[in-house]
Amino acid sequence: GSELGNWALGHWTEEGFDLFENFPDLASALWAAEERRLVPHQFPNHHIPIPEHYLSEGAAVAVETRAVMAWMDKNPFVLGANLQGGEKLVSYPFDTARPSSPTPAAVPRPLDYEDERPELQETPDHAVFRWLAISYASAHLTMTETFRGGCHTQDMTDAMGIVQGAKWHPRAGSMNDFSYLHTNCLELSLYLGCDKFPHESELQQEWENNKESLLTFMEQIHRGIKGVVTDQQGEPIANATIVVGGINHNVRTGGYRGLAGCWQHRTTPMTPPVPTASGGDYWRILNPGEYRVSARAEGYNPSVKTCHVLYDIGATQCNFVLSRSNWKRIREIMAMNGNRPIRRVVPGRPMTPRERLRLRMRL
Q: Is the peptide bond before 269 cis (omega within 30 degrees of 0)?
A: no
Q: Residue 101: its pLDDT value, please?
A: 65
Give 107's strand partners: none
Sequence-distant (6+) residues with CB within 8 A of 186 are: 78, 79, 80, 125, 128, 129, 132, 179, 180, 285
Kindly state whether residue 199 falls inside one of the protein's structural domains: yes
Contact 139, 213 (CB under 8 A): yes
Residue 196 lies in a domain: yes
In a domain, 49, yes or no: yes
Q: Is residue 266 part of a domain?
A: no
Residue 282 inside a domain? The answer is no
Distance, in Å, from the CA atom of 204 to the CA atom of 228, rounded to the nearest integer, reads 42
Could you give the dihedral angle defined by the CA atoms of residues 176, 78, 28 and 298, in that order, rounded to the nearest 10 degrees?
A: 170
Q: What is the pLDDT of residue 362?
A: 65
Whole-number Å distance between alpha carbons of 166 and 96: 5
- Contact at 8 Å (CB) between 186 and 132? yes
Q: Average pLDDT per run of 10 along the chain, which is 363 residues long?
A: 58 89 95 92 93 89 94 91 92 91 51 49 95 97 79 81 93 96 96 89 94 96 95 94 96 60 37 46 96 95 96 95 86 76 67 77 66
Residue 51 within a domain? yes
Q: What is the pLDDT of residue 111?
A: 46
Residue 291 is predicted with a pLDDT of 98
Is the alpha carbon torsion for 244, 262, 122, 139 positive or negative?
Answer: positive
Is residue 231 domain-resident?
no
- Asked whether the CA dihedral 22, 72, 36, 243 is positive or negative, the reply is negative
CATH number, residue 85 = 3.40.630.10
Where are any strands of DSSP class E within 238-286? 241-244, 251-252, 256-258, 262-265, 268-269, 273-275, 281-284
Alpha carbon distances (Å) from 64 to 50, 128, 193, 258:
16, 29, 25, 21
Q: Which residues contact 94 (CB under 8 A, 6 or more apart)?
A: 27, 121, 122, 123, 164, 165, 166, 177, 180
Query: At residue 128, what is the residue type?
Result: V
Pairing mode, strands 273-275 and 256-258: antiparallel
By residue range, what is the domain housing residue 55?
A: 19-99+118-222
Residue 262 forms part of a structural domain? no
Sequence-distant (≥ 6) Cβ neighbours of residue 22 within 8 angstroms: 61, 62, 65, 173
Q: pTM for the whole thing?
A: 0.81
pLDDT at 276: 34
Domain total in the chain: 1
Are the beta carbons of 125 and 60 closer than 8 angstroms? no
Indicate the SS3 state at residue 306: strand
Distance CA 221, CA 267 (A): 21
Rounded to whole angstroms, the Cα distance separating 107 from 304 reads 47
| Helix ranges, the chain (H) | 26-35, 52-55, 63-74, 126-137, 165-168, 175-182, 203-219, 327-336, 353-362
